[in-house]
Structure 1
Amino acid sequence: MLSLSQKVILAEGWTRRLIAFFGGAIGVLALAPFSFFPAFFVPMTLAVWLIDGSSGESLWASLRRAAGAGWWLGFGYFVAGLWWLGVAFLTDADRFAWALPLGVVGLPAGLAIFTGLGFALARLLWSPGAARIFALAAGLSAAEWIRGHVLTGFPWNDFGMALGANPVFAQFASVGGLYSLTVLSVLLFSTPALFGAGKSSRRVLVVSLAAFLALALFGAVRLQDKTDSVKGVKLRVIQANVANDEFRVDRKAELLERYLKLSDRSTSPQTTGLSDVTHVFWSESVFPFLLSRDPASLSTIASRMQNAILFAGAARAESAGGHTKYFNSLAVIQRGEIKEYFDKMHLTPFGEYMPFANVLARVGLTQFAWSPGAFDAGQYSRVLTAPGLPAVFPLICYESIFPEEVAERLSDLNARPGMMLNVTNDGWFGVTTGPYQHLSQARLRAIEQGLPMARAANTGVSAIIDPYGRLVASTSLGVEAVLDGSLPKALPATFYSQHWRLAPAVAWLIVLVGALIRPRKI
Structure 2
Amino acid sequence: MRQALIDWQLQKGGIYPKLLALFILGAILAAATELPFGGWIQVPLLSLIWWQLHKLNQQPLKNYFVAGMSFGFGYFVLGLWWIYISLHVIGGMHWMLSTAAVFLLAGGMALFFSLASLSMRFFKHSPISGLLLAANWVLIEWLRGWLFTGFPWMGLAESQVNGPFGAIAPYLGGLACTFLAVWSSWQLYTLRKNPKINGISLACTLLLMPALSLWHFTKPAGEPLSVELIQGNFAQSLIFNPEGISKQIQFYDQAMKSSHADLIISPETAFPWPETSLPAGLLDSLQAFSNQSQSALLFGVIGRHQNPSDNREFSNRAIGISPGVPVYRYDKSHLVPFGEFIPPGFHWFVKAFSVPLSDFSRGATDQSFFKIKRAEQDPIYAAITICYEDVFGSEIAARLRDSDNSANLMINITNLAWFGASQAPAQQLRLSQLRSLETGLPALRATNTGITAVLGPDGKVISRLPEFTQGTLQATVQAYSGKTPYVIWGNAPILSISCLLLLLSLIRQKQF
Q: Under TM normalisation by the shorter chain, which class is it? A: 0.7 to 0.9
Query: Could you tell me which residue of structure 2 aligns to residue 250 of structure 1?
Result: 243
1:354 partnered with 2:347: no
**Distance (whole Å) between structure 1 residues aligned to residue 433 and residue 66 of structure 2:** 34
Query: Could you tell me which residue of structure 1 aligns to residue 441 of structure 2?
Result: 451
Q: Is the 8 A contact 2:266 2:298 kept in 1?
A: yes
1:297 partnered with 2:297: no
Superposed displacement of residue 165, structure 1:
3.7
1:423 partnered with 2:413: yes
**Distance (whole Å) between structure 1 residues aligned to residue 505 and residue 435 of structure 2:** 30
Say which SS state the counterpart of residue 464 (structure 1) adopts: strand
Deviates more, 1:235-244 or 1:375-384: 375-384
Query: Could you tell me which residue of structure 2 aligns to residue 205 of structure 1?
Result: 199
TM score, norm. by length of structure 2 = 0.87
Structure 1 gaps, min length 5:
1-8, 265-272
**Distance (whole Å) between structure 2 residues aligned to residue 192 and residue 281 of structure 1:** 45
Superposed displacement of residue 54, structure 1:
3.3
**Distance (whole Å) between structure 1 residues aligned to residue 23 and residue 246 of structure 2:** 49
Q: How does 1:14-53 map to 2 (within 5 A)?
A: 14-32=16-34, 34-53=36-55
Q: Is the 8 A contact 1:20 1:43 kept in 2?
A: no
Deviation digits for residues 442-470 of structure 1 (CA, Å, limit 9, x no counterpart):
12111111111111111111112121112
Deviates more, 1:420-429 or 1:386-395: 386-395
**Distance (whole Å) between structure 2 residues aligned to residue 141 and residue 468 of structure 1:** 23
Superposed displacement of residue 84, structure 1:
1.9
Deviation digits for residues 251-295 of structure 1 (CA, Å, limit 9, x no counterpart):
33321221134335xxxxxxxx52x31221010011221123333
Say which SS state the counterpart of residue 288 (structure 1) adopts: strand
The residue type equivalent to 1:378 in the other structure is: G
Say which SS state the counterpart of residue 451 (structure 1) adopts: coil
Superposed displacement of residue 337, structure 1:
10
Superposed displacement of residue 391, structure 1:
1.1
| Aligned counterpart in structure 2 of residue 193 of structure 1, from 189, 195, 208 | 189
1:235 partnered with 2:237: no
**Distance (whole Å) between structure 2 residues aligned to residue 456 and residue 399 of structure 1:** 14
Superposed displacement of residue 513, structure 1:
7.8
Q: 1:93 to 1:279 in 2, by over 3 A?
A: closer
Query: Could you tell me which residue of structure 1 aligns to residue 6 of structure 2?
Result: none
Superposed displacement of residue 302, structure 1:
4.8
Query: Could you tell me which residue of structure 1 aligns to residue 3 of structure 2?
Result: none
Q: 1:518 to 1:44 in 2, by over 3 A?
A: farther
**Distance (whole Å) between structure 1 residues aligned to residue 372 and residue 323 of structure 2:** 12
| Aligned counterpart in structure 2 of residue 313 of structure 1, from 300, 309, 320 | 300
Percent identity at matched positions?
23
The residue type equivalent to 1:54 in the other structure is: L
**Distance (whole Å) between structure 2 residues aligned to residue 323 and residue 131 of structure 1:** 52
**Distance (whole Å) between structure 2 residues aligned to residue 86 and residue 511 of structure 1:** 40
Structure 2 gaps, min length 5:
1-10
The residue type equivalent to 2:227 in the other structure is: L
Q: How many residues align?
A: 492
Superposed displacement of residue 325, structure 1:
2.1
**Distance (whole Å) between structure 2 residues aligned to residue 451 and residue 11 of structure 1:** 53
Superposed displacement of residue 56, structure 1:
4.4
Q: 1:335 to 1:298 in 2, by over 3 A?
A: farther
**Distance (whole Å) between structure 2 residues aligned to residue 131 and residue 20 of structure 1:** 24
Deviation digits for residues 421-459 of structure 1 (CA, Å, limit 9, x no counterpart):
111111111122110010110121111111111111111
The residue type equivalent to 1:387 in the other structure is: K
Deviation digits for residues 392-411 of structure 1 (CA, Å, limit 9, x no counterpart):
11111110011111112222
**Distance (whole Å) between structure 2 residues aligned to residue 132 and residue 324 of structure 1:** 49
Deviation digits for residues 80-137 of structure 1 (CA, Å, limit 9, x no counterpart):
2112222212333644534321343221111000011112234222216x53222321
Q: 1:66 to 1:324 in 2, by over 3 A?
A: closer
| Aligned counterpart in structure 1 of residue 56 of structure 2, from 54, 57, 68 | 54
Say which SS state the counterpart of residue 195 (structure 1) adopts: coil
Query: Could you tell me which residue of structure 1 aligns to residue 67 of structure 2?
Result: 69
Q: 1:358 to 1:122 in 2, by over 3 A?
A: same
**Superposition RMSD on alpha carbons, in Å?**
3.2
The residue type equivalent to 2:225 in the other structure is: V
Q: 1:457 to 1:445 in 2, by over 3 A?
A: same
Q: 1:300 to 1:103 in 2, by over 3 A?
A: farther
TM score, norm. by length of structure 1 = 0.85
Say which SS state the counterpart of residue 12 (structure 1) adopts: helix
**Distance (whole Å) between structure 2 residues aligned to residue 196 and residue 10 of structure 1:** 30
Query: Could you tell me which residue of structure 2 aligns to residue 158 of structure 1?
Result: 155
**Distance (whole Å) between structure 1 residues aligned to residue 103 and residue 172 of structure 2:** 33
The residue type equivalent to 1:218 in the other structure is: L
Query: Could you tell me which residue of structure 1 aligns to residue 371 of structure 2?
Result: 385
**Distance (whole Å) between structure 2 residues aligned to residue 22 and residue 79 of structure 1:** 11
Q: 1:17 to 1:286 in 2, by over 3 A?
A: same
Query: Could you tell me which residue of structure 2 aligns to residue 262 of structure 1?
Result: 255
The residue type equivalent to 1:409 in the other structure is: R
Q: Is the 8 A contact 2:256 2:297 kept in 1?
A: no
Query: Could you tell me which residue of structure 2 aligns to residue 480 of structure 1?
Result: 470
The residue type equivalent to 1:468 in the other structure is: D
Q: Is the 8 A contact 1:48 1:190 kept in 2?
A: yes
Q: 1:511 to 1:80 in 2, by over 3 A?
A: farther
Q: Is the 8 A contact 2:188 2:198 kept in 1?
A: no
| Aligned counterpart in structure 2 of residue 218 of structure 1, from 212, 218, 240 | 212
The residue type equivalent to 1:180 in the other structure is: A
Q: How does 1:81-160 map to 2 (within 5 A)?
A: 81-92=79-90, 94-127=92-125, 131-160=128-157
**Distance (whole Å) between structure 1 residues aligned to residue 43 and residue 307 of structure 2:** 55
Q: 1:302 to 1:287 in 2, by over 3 A?
A: same
**Distance (whole Å) between structure 1 residues aligned to residue 482 and residue 92 of structure 2:** 51
Q: 1:189 to 1:47 in 2, by over 3 A?
A: same
Superposed displacement of residue 510, structure 1:
7.0
Superposed displacement of residue 34, structure 1:
4.0
Q: What stretches of structure 1 move > 4 A for 4+ residues in a row?
A: 225-230, 302-306, 320-324, 334-338, 513-522
Superposed displacement of residue 70, structure 1:
1.1
Q: Is the 8 A contact 2:161 2:433 kept in 1?
A: no
Say which SS state the counterpart of residue 338 (structure 2) adopts: coil
Q: Is the 8 A contact 1:459 1:479 kept in 2?
A: yes
1:278 partnered with 2:232: no
**Distance (whole Å) between structure 1 residues aligned to residue 224 and residue 44 of structure 2:** 49
**Distance (whole Å) between structure 2 residues aligned to residue 54 and residue 347 of structure 1:** 40
Q: 1:118 to 1:11 in 2, by over 3 A?
A: farther
Deviation digits for residues 16-61 of structure 1 (CA, Å, limit 9, x no counterpart):
101211111121244245442333234421343344333348xxx3
